[in-house]
């Protein structure tokens, strides 16, 4: 699938030419309340390096990157091929509270299903209740918690494992 027009945002699969724009976007949206590592200005490029561009869905508004979602396989094991991972959903601060996060989630779920995935997993910081509530609204359930997994600003933070059963999900995606 190449592109998806949803709502007011154009959502499409990213291409190699999008890597620099995605990395620049990353530098302006993440903080330690949302991710366990500093992705601010000066961080190492991720797209096309540690994040395969072909696993990324990019959202644009008037030609500008306003968000993205990254899905991939959880492992390279054949026996685990049916399990995907939602590595990230990122939304520009100006677009938070719009339909963009829901549209990106819909694109991610559709892409996971197209790849034959039956389960979609993710991890989220326990200190991010807004994100946990968002994922729960989309049918994700908590499958486990890694207690005190990260030390962020001198505070230990849990990493929460959540999953969505794509085989039975008929919700917003």
Instruction: Tell me the per-residue pLDDT of 46-87, one tens digit each, with 9 for 90 and over.
Output: 666 667 788 999 999 988 899 999 999 988 888 889 999 999
Indicate which CATH number applies to the domain containing 65.
Answer: 3.40.630.30
Report d(CA 159, CA 162) in Å as an integer: 10
Report how many domains make up the chain.
1
Model pTM score = 0.84
* 29 occurs within a structural domain: yes
* 144 occurs within a structural domain: yes
* 18 occurs within a structural domain: yes
* 172 occurs within a structural domain: no
Instruction: Tell me the per-residue pLDDT of 143-164, one tens digit each, with 9 for 90 and over.
Output: 999 999 999 889 999 999 999 9
Backbone angles phi, psi at 129, to 5 degrees: -65, -30
* 61 occurs within a structural domain: yes
* 150 occurs within a structural domain: yes
Domain holding 77, by residue range, is 3-165
* 170 occurs within a structural domain: no
């Amino acid at each position: 699938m190449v592109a998806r027009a949803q709502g007011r945002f154009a959502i499409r699969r990213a291409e190699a030419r999008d890597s620099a724009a995605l990395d620049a976007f990353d530098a302006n949206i993440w903080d330690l309340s949302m991710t366990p590592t500093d992705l601010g200005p000066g961080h190492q490029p991720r797209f096309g390096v540690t994040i395969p561009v072909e696993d990324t869905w990019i959202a644009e508004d008037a030609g500008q990157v306003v968000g993205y979602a990254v899905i991939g396989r959880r492992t390279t094991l054949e026996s685990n091929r049916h399990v995907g991972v939602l590595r990230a959903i990122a939304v520009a601060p100006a677009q938070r509270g719009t339909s963009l996060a829901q549209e990106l989630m819909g694109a991610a779920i559709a892409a996971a299903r197209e790849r034959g995935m039956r389960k979609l997993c993710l991890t989220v910081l326990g200190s991010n209740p807004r994100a946990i509530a968002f994922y729960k609204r989309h049918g994700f359930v908590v499958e486990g918690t890694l207690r005190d997994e990260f030390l962020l600003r001198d505070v230990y933070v849990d990493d929460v494992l959540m999953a969505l059963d794509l085989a039975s999900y008929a919700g917003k995606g």
